[in-house]
Every structure is written in C-alpha cells, then in structure tokens.
Amino acid sequence: MTTFSVEELPVPDRIEDDDAADFIETIEVRNSIEAASYGTNELTMTAAETLPYWLDREHSPRRLFGVRLDGRIVGRAYYEKSVAEGDQVAWSAVEVLPGFRGRGIGTAMADTVEQLARDDARARLLVYVVSPDGPGERLTAATGFGSVPLQNPEVRFLLARGYTLEQVERGSRLALPIDPDLLHGWVAAASARSGPDYAVHSWAGRVPERWREDMATMYTRMSTDAPSAGLAEPEDPWTAQRVSDDDDRHEANPRTLLTAVVEHVPSGHLVGYTSLSVPPETDRAASQEDTLVLREHRGHRLGMLLKVANLDILQRERPGHPSVTTFNAEENRHMLQVNEDVGFVPIGYEGAWRKPLS
C-alpha cells in the first residue's frame, strides 16, 4: 500500500525565491500531463510564465497542494474561489503523473479541494480536464456540442464523484508562418467588411492608459459574454486600476502579450480585443488568449479582423514561432469558424465539468 499525504505548498512571490522549488516542480507535473494528453509539448509553460497568474491574491486567490513520493512531487491540485460578494463558485484541478495513478492520490487530492469548497460554502465546483481520444461509447456535453470517451479513466473518475459534463472545449493549432499575401488579403477583406466605423489599434505589453477603462469593461464582459453552458460562471468585475495592477504583475513574465483592439470610431470606445501570449524563445508556440467582440457590435466581421490583424503583427514583429495554439467551446461555432478559416486544426479536447455542493 502506498503511503502519502496531501500537503499545501507555498506560492512564491518571485521565481528566484528560496521557497519556489515546490511551485516549479508542480508546473513540471502540469507540463508532463499536458504533453502526454495532447501529444505535443507546445502547451508547455515555464514556472516564471505561470507565476503572475497565481499572484492576484485579491481577486482570484489560489491554494496549491501536492503529493510527494520518495521526495518527488507526483501529483498537484489547486483550489481557486470567486471573491465577489454573493458568488458561490470555486474552481479546482487535480493532476497525477501517469506512472503514479491508481494509488488513491487523485482521490485524496480531490477530497481535499472539494472539502475546501464546502468549508467556503461554495454551491458548485468547476473543473477543466483534458480527455484524450479513445474507443467505444462517448459522453456528450450538456450543450449538445462535443463529447469525450466514456471509458476514459478521468471521465469515469469524475462521473463517480458526481460531476456533470457541461461543455467541451477544442484545442487547436495554427501552423506558422502564414503566407504574407494571404494574411494581408484577409486583413483587407475583414476591414472592408467592418467598414469605416471601426478602426484597429495594437500594442505590446501594458494597456495604454487611455484604453484602461474600456479594457476593464471588455475583461468584465469576457466573463459574461463567452459561452459557458451550464457552468454558470460568475461575473468577474474589472476596473481600470485592476487592469493596471495586472500589468504590474506581468512585468516579470518572460512572455509578451500582443493585443489588437477595435475602436468604434463614432463613440470613441473599444468594442473588441484579442491577445497573443508570445514566449521569448522563437522555437516555442505562441498562445491565442481571449478574443471578444461586444454583443452589440457583432455581425461586422470584427472577430476575423482582430484575429488576422494580430497574427500579422506577430509575424512582422516576432517572427519565427512555429505555431499558435488556442481553445474554444465547441458550441462557439462562430469563433471556431473564424479559426478554421484561418487554418487552425484540432489537437485535442477537454471537458468542463460541474459538481453541485449544496
């Protein structure tokens, strides 16, 4: 019988700090599992690239847990809760290295994070879990879009613990470079379709001060306007100050965030944005982050305009990266069509699961 315990691990303030070793090792666990599940290393994140997301202790506090065997961390879990007044949602992840599964490690960590959610009076717990392709019967998401193999061990594990598959997200990859003439043609066509009422702007890194209020509005709307099926994701309110604070945290991030936005010229306000997270090494993939067009401005081909404009910026200013990866809900047919038109192809799928706790 394997003897182990679930221990809470420190999250360092800096990756250079003396207490960062365990955090770094848990990110290596995460990367190993992602690579095994998707069959590619292109989703790898370094600990230094990941840490800024853990340091927003005011708005999205997280707790980190691990299991050690023979001095090595072989499994990790995290717990995150919403801090907005009245919200009853928490998120978690439980990950065990393939060679150490079947020993009760995943169960012990899941028990830990679920109890934390109950102690915090959370009504539901949400988890996102990759499901590699497999044979046999499939479980369809509650949305009716996408499915996962019913006999996969992670699927059976979650069903046995009372989780419901609410949504399936598709992971996709775009091979680079794109032919510049083709890319410029897409930009021109999308710009012509959107018309003179819309103008594209872009920047690298920090949000310019003049646009912080508008970006705060769009970040907030990202939490409510994106498809979330029956997950009932809560609104995540942003302010201009929070945008600035977030930029401060990411000053230490080795990755560069390339952002393209579209301005509604008559009103002078931003109504859409997209971002690419670009690692410093040119042999690594860039990551397509959020893309949003406010509902009241949809139907003008702005999503396509933003995406191809930012890809053009990436190829001109940060050339050499082999690909871009992205994730989209299977029911988000419009954005998937935009991606497919550009050349993204599926590389894998993950389920978004919900467990009621009340």
Distances (CA, A) of 82 to 137, 245, 321: 35, 18, 35
Contact call for residues 123 and 357 (beta carbons, < 8 A): yes
Q: Mean pLDDT for each consecutive 10-residue tract of the chain (358 residues)?
A: 89 95 97 94 96 92 96 96 83 96 96 96 95 95 95 97 96 97 95 95 97 97 75 83 95 95 97 97 96 92 95 96 96 91 95 93
Contact call for residues 354 and 123 (beta carbons, < 8 A): no
Q: By 3-state DSSP, what share of the chain in percent is helix, strand and coil, each rounded to 5? A: 35, 30, 35
Nearest residue to 82 via CA among 123, 30, 112: 123
pLDDT value at position 83?
84
| Burial track 295-309 (b if 16+ CB lie within 10 A, e otherwise) | eebeebbbbbbbbbb
The torsion defined by the Cα of 145, 60, 210 and 200, in degrees rounded to 10, comes to -20
Nearest residue to 178 via CA among 300, 71, 321, 279: 321
DSSP bridge partners of 125 = 90, 355
Phi/psi for 56 (5° steps) reads -85, 75
Structure tokens at 11: 């999250």
pTM of the model: 0.93
Measured over all CA atoms, what is the biggest interatomic distance in the chain, rounded to whole angstroms? 69
Domains of the chain: 6-172 (3.40.630.30), 177-321 (3.40.630.30)
Structure tokens at 59: 């708005």
How far is 61 from 47, CA to CA, in rounded Å? 18
Structure tokens at 300: 């003008």
Q: Please, which residues have CB within 8 angstroms of residue 19's CB and are 6 or more apart in sequence?
A: 10, 12
- Asked whether the bond before 177 is cis by omega within 30 degrees of 0, the reply is yes
The arrangement of strands across the sheet holding 256-264 comes to 6-9, 62-69, 72-81, 89-96, 124-130, 345-356, 164-175, 323-329, 286-293, 269-278, 256-264, 198-204
Phi/psi for 207 (5° steps) reads -70, 125
Other CB atoms within 10 A of residue 283 CB: 8
pLDDT value at position 158?
98
Nearest residue to 334 via CA among 178, 225, 218: 225
pLDDT value at position 212?
98
User: Helical H runs in the chain?
Assistant: 21-38, 47-54, 105-119, 153-160, 180-194, 212-225, 240-249, 302-317, 333-342
Q: Is 305 left (phi over 0), alpha (psi -120 to 50) or beta?
A: alpha
